[in-house]
Amino acid sequence: DAGVIQSPRHEVTEMGQEVTLRCKPISGHDYLFWYRQTMMRGLELLIYFNNNVPIDDSGMPEDRFSAKMPNASFSTLKIQPSEPRDSAVYFCASSPDTYTEAFFGQGTRLTVV
C-alpha cells in the first residue's frame, strides 16, 4: 500500500476563495482523521470518521469548515470562504481502529493570502 495520500501538497489561495483538501486513506482502515498543525496551537484534531460516518467534529473551528467521506477510499476537507488565519499544515491520518497506530499522510501546506 502506498500509505495515506494527500493532495495537493501545497496550496496558495486568496482570502475568500474555496479550498478543498483531499485524502485517500490506507485500504481497509475504518478510521480517518483530519488534523491541523500550526506553530501557535500545535496539532489539533478537527474531525474523525468511522466507516465513512463522522463521529466527532467538535474540533472543526467554524462553519466555514466542512468534511465529507463519500466512500471508504476518499475524504475531503473544505474551507469556504478561506481566511489568512486558516494558513496551516493539514494532515489526514487513517487507522484500523482508534487504539492502534495512526498512519499519517505527508500533509497539505495551505497558505491563504
Positions in 31-50 near other proteins (CB under 8 A): 33, 42-43, 45, 48, 50
| Minimum distance, C-beta of residue 48 to other proteins, in the bound complex (Å) | 6
Q: Which residues contact 41 (CB under 8 A, 6 or more apart)?
A: none
| Minimum distance, C-beta of residue 43 to other proteins, in the bound complex (Å) | 5
Give the ranges where 28-95 is alpha helix by DSSP (H).
none
In a 3-state reduction of DSSP, which class is residue 33? strand
**Per CB under 8 A, does 74 bind other proteins?**
no
> Which residue among 27, 97, 111, 113 contacts other proteins (CB under 8 A)?
97
In whole angstroms, give the CA distance from residue 42 to residue 52: 26
> Cα angle vertex 57, ends 6, 9, to 5°?
15
- Binding residues vs other proteins (CB under 8 A): 4, 33, 42-43, 45, 48, 50, 55-56, 91, 93, 95, 97-102, 104-107
